[in-house]
Amino acid sequence: MHYVTHEGGLYMMKYRVCTVVMGCVLAGRVLAGATATPAAQDILAASDAVRNPDYAFGVTTTLIEYRAGKQTDTDTLMVYSKAEPGSGQFRTLIRFVQPVRDVNKLMLKNGNEVWFYDPANKASIRISPQQRLLGQAANGDVVTVNLAKDYKASLASEEDVDDGDGKRRHCYKLALEATSPDVTYPRIEMWIDETNNHPVKARFYTDSGRLLKTAYYRRYREELGGVRPTETVIIDGLDPNWVTVMRGSDYAKRDVPDAWFQRDYLAHFNAQ
């Protein structure tokens, strides 16, 4: 998910600017002993850059779903993502690897345009963003997203919270409000480690404030040129016994042509 897992990077330039700005702010704090806090939007952008590289990439994502402690489903997906030059938002192409009944089906997400391709009949069907193809994970959960592109962040507080591995972390708590109609979740609360901008956890809400799900970002390791979370644990907002583990593997930088991200390409998809 890169919503919740491997997420989007920013533009290189913007990220560099952001990093420089944050670096200056942090340096200023050290030198002056001040308590100035970087802008919330910059924190969010830096957190995006932790989750996602700033180039096109591929990753294999395995989703394991549990209901009441029992494993009920396993899906394996190959995910290809590339930022759109204009908006900076990621477009994602997903190939289904498991279960066997869905082998080689494809899902393409480009903004709020979602296509589903079935090799059995070569038909590309447009589906709504709400039309789920997986279990608990929404389509928006398995695609790569730069949150800073679609949300306005404000700093709600600074808190000590336990991360997904049970360690105490001092975090910025950001409140995110959607600025784009194309997003899966209207409101998000996000905890980001103050020392390294690692996303720690997030809560996703409906417009009316109902908790949809909680996500923990964990298993940080070196991937795609940075230390990134490789696992997201998603807990349902209504039923906490409904848990999905999304784990990434086989990360690779991939030269994905822009022409792949349209309906008429899907019949030719040929990932090696």
Partner 1 sequence: MKCRVLGAAFWLVCGAAFAQTSDLDALKLADTAVVKVEAPRDWQLFTEAAVGQILATNGLGSMANNRWSTNAQLSTALTDRFRFIMADRLDVTSKNDVTGQSAANTLKEAYVSWQIDSHRFVDIGRINQLYGVAMGYNPTDYFRAGAVRSVVSIDPNSLKDDRLGSVMVRGQTLWDTGSLTVLYSPRIEDRPASAALDPDFGATNNRNRWLLAVTQKVYRNISPQVLLYGEQGSSVQAGVNLNAAPTDAIVTFFEWSGGRGKTQLAEAFNQAGPVDFHQRFATGLTYTTASKVSLTLEYEFDGAAPSHAAWRELRHAPPGLYQSYRATTLDLQDLATKQSMFGYVSWHDAMVKHLDLNAMLRFSVTDSSALAWVEARYHLNKIDFALQVQASSGSRASEYAPTAYHYAWQALARYYF
**229-234: which pairs have CB atoms within 8 A and are 24 or more residues apart?**
229/5, 229/6, 229/50, 229/51, 229/198, 229/199, 230/5, 230/6, 231/5, 231/164, 232/1, 232/4, 232/5, 233/164, 234/4, 234/136, 234/137, 234/141
Least spacing, CB of residue 199 vs partner 1, in Å: 15
At 80, which helix (H) or strand (E)?
Answer: strand 70-83
Neighbours of 158 (CB within 10 A): 13
Q: What is residue 119's DSSP assignment?
A: T
Least Å from the CB of residue 135 to partner 1: 8
What residues does 153 pair with on adjacent strands?
Answer: 176
Residue 164 in contact with partner 1, rule: CB under 8 A = yes
Q: Is 254 in the site for partner 1 (CB under 8 A)?
A: no
Going from the C-alpha of 194 to that of each of 38, 180, 262, the distances in angstroms are 10, 27, 39
Q: With CB under 8 A as the contact rule, which of the stretches 30-38, 121-129, 150-158, 168-176 interacts with partner 1?
A: 121-129
The size of the interface with partner 1 (CB under 8 A), counted in residues, is: 68
- List binders of partner 1 among 195-224 (CB under 8 A): 214, 216
181 interacts with partner 1 by CB under 8 A: yes
Choose the binding region for partner 1 from 31-39, 42-50, 151-159, 239-247 (rule: CB under 8 A). 239-247
Do 173 and 157 form a contact (C-beta atoms < 8 A)? Answer: yes
- Under rule CB under 8 A, which residues in 59-78 are in contact with partner 1? 60, 62, 64, 66-67, 69, 71-72, 74, 76, 78
Q: Per CB under 8 A, does 259 bind partner 1?
A: yes
Q: How far apart are CA 167 and CA 118, in angstroms?
A: 44
113 phi-psi bin (left φ>0, alpha ψ -120 to 50, beta other): beta
Single residue of 21, 97, 155, 175 touching partner 1 by CB under 8 A: 97
17 is a contact residue toward partner 1 (CB under 8 A) = no
For position 101 contacting partner 1 by CB under 8 A, the verdict is yes
How far apart CA 148 and CA 238 sit, in angstroms, is: 27
Name the residue nearer to partner 1 (CB basis): 29 or 263.
Answer: 263
Residue 103 in the binding site for partner 1 (CB under 8 A): yes
By C-alpha distance, which of 133, 99, 97, 126 is closest to 110?
Answer: 126
Binding site for partner 1 (CB under 8 A): 60, 62, 64, 66-67, 69, 71-72, 74, 76, 78, 95, 97-101, 103-104, 110-114, 118-123, 125-132, 135, 162, 164, 166, 181, 184, 214, 216, 231, 233, 235, 240-241, 243, 245, 247, 249-250, 257-260, 262-265, 268, 270-272
